[in-house]
Amino acid sequence: MQNMIETKDLCKMYGNHTVVDHLNLCVPKGCVYGFIGPNGAGKSTSMKMLLGLVHSTSGSVRLMGQEMTEQNRIRLLRHTGSLIESPSGYLHLTAQENLQIIADLKDVKHTEIAHVLDVVHLTQDKDKKVGQYSLGMKQRLGIAMALLGNPEILILDEPTNGLDPAGMQEMRALIAGMPEKTGATVLISSHLLGEMEQMVNRVGIINHGKTLFDGSLQELRKHSQGDLNLRVLDVLKAMPILREKGLPTVQKDGVLTLPPMPDFRLAEIVQELADSGAGVVELIRHTKSLEDIFLSLTQSAQEVREK
Ligand SMILES: Nc1ncnc2c1ncn2[C@@H]1O[C@H](COP(=O)(O)OP(=O)(O)OP(=O)(O)O)[C@@H](O)[C@H]1O
């Protein structure tokens, strides 16, 4: 499958401060890629480099299989729509009028406007002044502006920021259906992984400019094993066995807490406990939520940095 966006060791320094550190992004055609990281992680800067709005310090960007250069930048960006930072639009004009201005700037026929309004569900409100729009409607108008010209790549920087749950839900459905409805490959950033869960096929987690994870949500869920709770009838018999194996023996009311471990190791331990007469009566394996995985990934990277 062709990669629509690819970066190779992309770096950005502001003075001595590295804000994007050897970023290797790979966004396959037809996917919705969630670019996730805490505030200040370097998401916006990376997206701006993809759009040629910020010059990279080193590394390269490929869009639709072609390396971006000063010479072909404008041509490649003609196939790219973006919504960076807060949505724009003249508040005293209607959505239709705003889209006409953008269509003229992009040299796109006005007949395309009806289609993009339909995609973002603003047809009914197209003649309302944008000043009367809710934030969610303004965000959707921003996406409609980005969609004019039928781009192959859509780059959206935190389009769900500040939306209420209903607006968020609408945005999720809109983005998730975007490749099918418009053919565009989507790169969308957020600082909340949970929020992205229902709309992305692939995620890249970034912190302090470095990629901590890149893969599918299924692969990310493999990091989801949390602690194990083991309830035994005789804690005093169980404790020495666990201690001997170097396992922490935290216990409360007959429930022992063990760290995550592979199934075969757990099976061995349970067998030994059973043979010793400790009596295993309950075993609960906790799974971490995506948000917890995200926090543990970003926190462990922070701890490594602080060492
Ligand atoms: N023009 C600039 N000059 C100096 N530093 C900058 C500039 N733009 C961004 N930075 C710094 O780069 C780092 C990354 O910022 P960036 O906006 O890319 O992060 P982000 O992940 O998009 O965060 P947020 O979710 O808060 O928008 C931050 O420490 C920020 O202060």
- Closest-CA residue, ligand 1 atom 12, reads 19
Ligand 1 site, CB within 6 A = 14, 19, 37, 39-45, 191
The rounded distance, in Å, linking the Cα atoms of 48 and 86 is 14
Centre of ligand 1 to C-alpha 220, Å, is: 26
Q: Taking CA 218 as the corner, what is the angle to CA 216 and CA 223, rounded to the nearest 5 degrees?
A: 105
Using DSSP, state whether 80 is helix, strand or coil. strand
**Common-topology check for domains 3-217 and 222-287:** no
Q: Does the 222-287 domain belong in CATH 3.30.70.80?
A: yes
Centre of ligand 1 to C-alpha 59, Å, is: 18
Find the Cα–Cα–Cα–Cα dihedral 158, 160, 161, 166, rounded to 10°. Answer: 180
- Closest-CA residue, ligand 1 atom 29, reads 40
User: What CATH number does the domain located at 3-217 have?
Assistant: 3.40.50.300
- Decide if 202 contacts 295 (C-beta within 8 A): no
DSSP 189-233: EES-HHHHTTT-SEEEEEETTEEEEEEEHHHHHGGGEEEEEEEES
Domain map (residue ranges) of the chain: 3-217, 222-287
- Closest-CA residue, ligand 1 atom 18, reads 42
Atom of ligand 1 nearest to the CA of 15: 4
What is the residue-level pLDDT of the chain in tens, covering all 307 positions? 589 999 999 999 999 999 999 999 999 999 999 999 888 899 999 999 999 999 999 999 999 999 999 999 989 998 999 999 776 789 999 999 999 999 999 899 999 999 999 988 999 999 999 999 988 899 899 999 999 999 999 999 998 887 888 888 888 888 999 899 889 999 999 988 878 888 898 999 998 899 988 998 888 877 777 788 999 999 899 999 999 988 877 778 888 888 888 889 989 999 999 999 999 999 988 877 777 777 777 776 555 555 5
